[in-house]
Structure 1
Amino acid sequence: MSFRFPDVGVEREFAQSIGRTDAAPRTDREALYETLTRSENRYLVRQLCFVFNVQGMETYILEPSDSHSYGLLAEEAIRSNPKTTDLDVVIGRRGPLSAPEACNGLTLPTVRLAQLYSFDRDELVHSIQRPDSVAEEGFEATAKEVLDRVLRMTDNTGAMPQHRAMNYLAVRYPVIYQQTFRKHADNASLTSIEVQRSDVSENRTVMDAIFTYMDRATFLTTKYGVRADVHNMFPFVVSPLSPV
């Protein structure tokens, strides 16, 4: 996530705000963070254009829904010590393209922000509940591998039902990590993750996520599926992970 100044006037006002702050010996990023997270500078935060990036590409312009959202965006879009493993999860409603003047010429689909979760990759992996009597190091290695596969899904901008389902499961459904660890312990590999529309629902958007594992010795495959409803803004599990 990042931000832009909508025009040169806002940019100069921001520079003056930093000048009124004793920023030594902070880095530029730390000075930026401290300035925009100060309550007296909230008026500046309301002028900024917040951009959500997917796999390094500018994808959406975020529109805060209330005053609290501005504070969240100021803290998470800037980050005093950013890392390449930083992750952001945005929940909201997709809107029309932004006007060019709203973001200094940048035109992207808008998202009306309802909730924002920010963390880094290791923090998310460490928070996943691991099975009893399982070594933390081994389980986290599996969790990182599964998470990385989800993050590398082609064109996953969160706009399609299959992407929304998989993103939700990756962040809120630890069972997929636990099951993959068990399969690794049984000498099996996770060979594919497929998400498709479920046949059981006509009136709602329900997706089936299918995890295929292959035994490393016999090459026999087994499949496990979990069903998630993504019809509304907040997804939920309809049927837990089980053999299919």
Structure 2
Amino acid sequence: MDTPEANEQPATQTGPDTGPAVGTSPTSRSATPFSPQACANCDGAAGIDTNDPEAAASYIYALGRVEARFPRPSVEKEFAQATGRADTNGQTDREAFHAVLSQRENRYLVRQLCWVLTIQGLETYLLQPRDPVDYDSLVEATRPAPSPLDIDAVIGLRGPLAPPEMCNGLMIPIVAFDQIYSFDREALIGAIPRPEKTAAKEFKAAAEELFDRVMQLTDNAGATDDHRALNYLAMRYPAIYTTVADAYARNASLTGVEVRPSRLSGTRKIVNVICSFTSRNNDFTEKFFVRVDVTEEFPFLVNKMSPYYDR
């Protein structure tokens, strides 16, 4: 039976990782704590009363694709008129769509659209910024030339289900976001520091396999502590890719990625992310782990990657 006692020594917190996401050009901005439009203590986007003990915060750290939808026929017709006034000669439909939304005079249309985050092709969240300035992040996420490898990381607070009239009958949770990072997988992998002893081709293959594995985890909507920790590491912790590449170089397979509550949690919510590697030669399994604090909206590293010993 796996027990974490051997590794559960008092840890020195390394502090939050405040740098930009690995391989991204962040399109995020710091947001004010809550929008005052709805009430003094409510998030105007998600309708969450932050002083209500019954309304427990549900944080999101999700990886998917941002899409714009027309909520009503009138908005679609208005957008068509705005497109007719714009110079879109020679542009594709996606280029024209992005160009029209990018014009400052059309900001009113940006506010009228539904912004949907799809994960693995499924409509998962309706997005609303907690700071109106961050509508720019949504526009940039539409991309004039989208690729199947495009990824958007969304960090925010999950609210209630959207009412049917909000987005043409689409009833999924609303997320009031604080940050959106838009990037493509190639840029992310290319920005990860590569160990000198590892060939570029081998490291790229190892990193892509691990990132895809995190993305394809069952029900990874970025809402549970486990998935938030994994998504954070995939975005912000290059050492996890180095560990996988080193294991492949030793002819070992990545046979498991699991998340367990840490006994060091106390008043904080800390989880152990454990990677298991099994030798292809003798079937011997070794494990490495990293601790992540997921107490609040922004996860952060508690301990760096190190060997994990079962007792």
Query: What TM-score do the two structures reach when normalised by structure 1?
Result: 0.97
Which residue in the other structure is 2:54 paired with?
A: none
Which residue in the other structure is 1:19 paired with?
A: 84
SS in 1 for 2:86: coil
Which residue in the other structure is 1:89 paired with?
A: 153
CA distance in 1, matches of 2:241, 2:189: 9
Which residue in the other structure is 2:200 paired with?
A: 136
Which residue in the other structure is 1:44 paired with?
A: 109
The amino acid of 1:108's aligned partner reads I
Which residue in the other structure is 1:237 paired with?
A: 301
1:30 aligns with 2:95: yes
Q: CA RMSD in A?
A: 1.0
1:102 aligns with 2:166: yes
Q: CA deviation at 1:5?
A: 1.5
Q: CA deviation at 1:186?
A: 1.1
Q: CA deviation at 1:239?
A: 1.3
CA distance in 2, matches of 1:62, 1:149: 25
Q: Comparing 64-73 with 128-137, which one deviates more in the overlay?
A: 128-137
SS in 1 for 2:112: coil
The amino acid of 2:259's aligned partner reads V
Which of residues 183, 186, 194 is equivalent to 2:247?
Answer: 183
The amino acid of 2:114's aligned partner reads C
CA distance in 1, matches of 2:207, 2:248: 11
CA distance in 2, matches of 1:134, 1:213: 18
Q: CA deviation at 1:135?
A: 2.4
Which residue in the other structure is 2:277 paired with?
A: 213
Structure with the largest fraction of helix = 1
**Number of residue equivalences:** 243
Unpaired runs of at least 5, structure 1: none
Which of residues 169, 180, 184 is equivalent to 1:116?
Answer: 180
The amino acid of 1:54's aligned partner reads I
Q: CA deviation at 1:67?
A: 2.6
CA distance in 2, matches of 1:212, 1:133: 22
Q: Which structure carries more relative contact order (alpha carbon 8 Å, separation 6+)?
A: 2
SS in 2 for 1:176: helix
CA distance in 2, matches of 1:6, 1:180: 44
Which of residues 106, 121, 137 is equivalent to 1:56?
Answer: 121
Which residue in the other structure is 2:55 paired with?
A: none
Once the two structures are superposed, what CA deviation does each residue of 1:56-93 show, in whole Å capped at 9, x if it has no partner?
000000011123211110120x2111111111100001
Q: CA deviation at 1:130?
A: 1.1
The amino acid of 1:107's aligned partner reads M
Q: CA deviation at 1:202?
A: 2.8
SS in 2 for 1:159: coil
CA distance in 1, matches of 2:140, 2:277: 40
Unpaired runs of at least 5, structure 2: 1-65
CA distance in 1, matches of 2:201, 2:251: 17
CA distance in 2, matches of 1:96, 1:104: 17
Runs of 4+ aligned residues of structure 1 deviating over 2 Å after TM superposition are: 132-135
CA distance in 1, matches of 2:134, 2:70: 18
Which residue in the other structure is 1:168 paired with?
A: 232
